[in-house]
């Protein structure tokens, strides 16, 4: 089945698809992502099948900081990072809240109790997250191991037959988000990307 192509003005339609258990490709400020309901185990299982993804955690895109705080405990350091870089291309991995542990499908965080969250600097992405309940999955739109897609055309070619819909938001950025894990005051860079946090790390070391 060919994925339905939606315009950026049809976010409400895309959100309904997500709420009903579907998977939608969406533009973000980094690369195109795959959005589904992270609380729906069947949707998450299908997401892994679509990507051919091995057992790895999946990041979550949030409508705003408040939505992110409902999922993870950012702590003082994580909150400071969010104020500096959100909305933006920084994914913060932090301990999940008790409520999130009960609601988020275990495969999203691989039963670790840690979750990567991000508030993207892209109105379509945040609008979809907001309309879908506050957050959606945000793993890159590609087959696992292959380059991430940066346009709706690339998504359609790579995954079109496996998705329910694709939001055409034009070309996205070519670089993925920086991923950091926050433990107390320590910031560990898990993946280098669009944002550099090394300067903050150096200042922490020399306090």
Residues 28-49, mean pLDDT to the nearest whole number: 97
pLDDT tens profile 167-194: 999 998 768 999 999 999 999 999 999 8
Rounded-to-5 percentages of helix, strand, coil across the chain: 35, 25, 40
pTM: 0.94
- With a CB cutoff of 8 Å and minimum separation 6, the contacts of 39 are 103, 104, 105, 133
- With a CB cutoff of 8 Å and minimum separation 6, the contacts of 45 are 107
Q: How far apart (Å, rounded) are the C-alpha atoms in residues 14 and 167?
A: 8
Number of domains in the chain: 1
pLDDT tens profile 59-68: 999 999 999 9
Which residues form the domain of 175?
A: 4-205
| H helical segments located in the chain | 11-19, 41-51, 65-69, 75-85, 98-103, 106-109, 123-131, 152-159, 198-205
CATH of the domain at 151: 3.90.870.10
pLDDT tens profile 96-154: 999 999 999 999 999 999 999 999 999 999 999 999 999 999 999 999 999 999 999 99
């Amino acid at each position: 089945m060919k994925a339905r192509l939606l315009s950026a003005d049809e976010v409400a339609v895309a959100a309904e698809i997500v709420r009903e258990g579907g998977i939608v490709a969406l533009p973000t400020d980094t690369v195109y992502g795959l959005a589904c309901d992270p609380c729906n185990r069947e949707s998450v299982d299908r997401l892994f099948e679509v990507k051919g993804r091995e057992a790895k955690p999946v990041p979550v895109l949030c409508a705003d900081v408040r939505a992110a705080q409902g999922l993870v405990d950012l702590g003082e350091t994580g909150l400071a990072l969010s104020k500096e870089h959100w909305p933006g291309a920084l994914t913060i991995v932090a301990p999940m809240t008790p409520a999130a542990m009960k609601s988020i499908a275990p495969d999203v965080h691989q039963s670790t109790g840690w979750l990567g969250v991000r508030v993207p600097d892209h109105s379509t992405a945040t609008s979809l997250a907001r309309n879908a309940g506050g957050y959606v999955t945000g793993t890159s739109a590609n087959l696992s191991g292959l380059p991430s897609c940066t346009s709706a055309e690339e998504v359609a070619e790579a995954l079109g037959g496996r998705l329910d819909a694709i939001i055409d938001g034009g070309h996205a950025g070519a670089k993925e988000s920086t991923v950091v894990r926050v433990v107390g005051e320590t910031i560990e860079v898990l993946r280098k990307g669009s944002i550099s946090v090394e300067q903050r790390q150096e200042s922490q070391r020399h306090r």
